[in-house]
Structure 1
């Protein structure tokens, strides 16, 4: 039975959350109604809420874009299916989409930003049905855990595609133990990189990454960029691999120090992919790109067509979710936001609806 309303937590203005109910909308042609089972808390949500980063749809607005759930209304072939809702849903018709870059469609819809008032911190969400990722046999992996596939895992995958990670590649991940960086590290290894160096200031989490894709780790706290480079050089000498060319670097922190470190590591025929979002400006002598014959690439979201491939990696063990996520009731959203804002979360939190 379809409810007459949607329960949700709305950002009525930046810094203020309110539990409320909104009328259940009439589904438009091509839409599906998903009953939310889990919604991950992303740094982007925190940026909207605390930092005043503008949303396309102005508040009041339900945030949340890492969503898994069950289709309860819409196309007959989807009713009852467990699905992941893509964080970026393109129009699939424009020139950008048809060129194969649908992840950066200028007419894209994003839950918790540009999909009207609707987001994942709710009981239900109406979404375009065409790009939903059907889960199928999830082999015991909780459906709630799969919510983070939408963004936390697919964004690193898209970064890997943009960086053309291939078997045998050598990779550095700056921010390797963070909420997205921990998956970037796993994705790099899962896509075939033979050497993955993880860099992060969180020592405990960094050590954990040695069990999840990282072959060598460096904590840059208290070190100059030159000293980090020397540590990489020493490891490469030990492993008899080149240290000064061909590396693919993924910057996931979004902070100035991480970006400057990543830029300093870029060398001959190397590639630097910018994954993390931040507002600080940094400087770089662009002529070095010319001299190195190197590439500097930006990446955004992930095209829905890639979601099944990423889901497969999560279900076949190449990417571990359980060790990096935890579930909490959605009624704790304000406490979770506060903890996330102050960097006090050990794992990526997935909120599960518990509306009365």
Structure 2
């Protein structure tokens, strides 16, 4: 018999850091352990027992950087979730699943024209699904877009949580770029939580030459084993200097310097400035990472270069099984890029990542209530 809980145990964001808009009071962020109700499940909904939930920089943005959530606190963060269905839609009970980080409505014009990944009515755990998020023992979600996990072998279900965002977002970006076998690719921020999967996936999808750019020498060297053919350390260098090194690689190897597809995954102003500097004739710059800084650029260069700048958001749920198969078949490696910790370490983990930047491995928190 499946044990269906009477309540959900959770780590809830009671207050984010920031300023009270009415009083001007400076607020100190607070996450605390509590319990919340198990709602009555509607038709087409399930209750998932959470195996693991990845810590994403989006969560940190909600907590530390005044990035607003759709549903106001108190609410539980976390949108990178794997688990097992324990109640609800009978077709799903007992199955292991990955929960999409963003679930489209499937009724709006965007959904009906193939852009459901950017559905304006989409539901995201830890943001727009009421008080419910992934840093919990259980979560109620629609069953429509669940990705069933089959034949995962020795890979822990908890580790597959990273597919829900870190690993599938780069696949969506590759599709937006219309990546084709034989393309030349640059990945800026190639050793970060999302960048390391972007690097692997473009190579797995047939990219001919892949250049990885980042600021960590040790991780950059490792990236040569995970898809990078060449690396550039951008630490302390101007965009012009990085572009100069890129052109040196092209000259020394006989590669053309035009038509490159550039994935900016760092989500930093310096990374975006480098991406714009590298964008040349018939090239594409795909913006995968997020930050709030403004970057200056002469937009008329796009006309002169016949080039493109493309934004990409989340992922179409239909890509989840594809990326999961890439991971379980060994075409991309997730085992070496995941670190699991007990969920009771959430406060310390958030603080660590906030102060030290992107960890080498994606941290997945496992419920230990």
Shared fold, TM over 0.5: yes
* Structure 2 equivalent of residue 328 of structure 1: 341
Match of residue 272 from structure 2: 259
Counterpart for residue 5 of structure 1: 7
Deviations 1:88-128 (A, max 9, x none): 00001111001111000010000000011000000000001
CA distance in 2, matches of 1:153, 1:265: 25
User: Equivalents in 2 of 1:206, 1:47: separation in Å?
Assistant: 26
1:319 counterpart = 2:337: no
C-alpha distance in 2, partners of 1:136/1:71?
14
**Which residue in 2 is equivalent to 1:38?**
52
Rounded Cα–Cα distance in structure 2 between residues aligned with 1:147 and 1:308: 13
TM-score between the two structures when normalised by the length of structure 2: 0.95
Partner Cα separation in structure 1 for residue 236 and residue 126 of structure 2? 38
Match of 1:308 in 2: 321
Partner of 1:63: 77
**Aligned partner of residue 145 in structure 1, secondary structure:** helix
Match of 2:192 among 172, 175, 178: 178
Selected match of 2:207 from 193, 197, 200: 193
- 1:282 is matched with 295
* Equivalent position of 1:53 in the other structure: 67
The equivalent position to 1:109 in structure 2, one of 119, 123, 131, is 123
- State the match for 1:231 in structure 2: 245
| 1:307 shift after superposition | 0.6
1:59-84 Cα deviation digits (max 9, x unpaired)? 00000000000000111121111100
Please list every run of at least 4 consecutive aligned residues from structure 1 whose deviation after the TM superposition is greater than 2 angstroms.
343-346
Distance in 2 of aligned mates of 1:10 and 1:353? 13
Q: Write the distance in 2 (CA, Å) between the matches of 1:142 and 1:236.
A: 41
CA-to-aligned-CA distance 1:182-240 (integer Å, 9 cap, x gap): 11111111111011100000111111111001111111112222221221122222222
Residue 255 of structure 1: CA displacement?
1.2
Per the alignment, residue 74 of structure 1 pairs with 88
Task: Tell me the TM-score normalized by structure 1.
Answer: 0.98
C-alpha distance in structure 1 between counterparts of 2:129 and 2:150, whole Å: 26
Q: Give per-residue Cα distances to partners, 1:295-315, cap 9 Å, x unaligned.
A: 100000001111111111111
Query: Where in structure 1 are there 5+ consecutive unaligned residues?
Result: none
Secondary structure of the corresponding residue to residue 178 of structure 1: coil
| More moved, 69-78 vs 226-235 | 226-235
Q: Distance between the aligned counterparts of 1:69 and 1:298, measured in 2?
A: 30
* Residue of structure 2 aligned with 1:294, choices 283, 307, 330: 307
**Is 228-237 or 170-179 further displaced after alignment?**
228-237
Counterpart-to-counterpart distance in 2, 1:258 and 1:48: 22
1:136 aligns with 2:150: yes
The answer to whether the 8 A contact 2:103-2:124 is kept is: yes
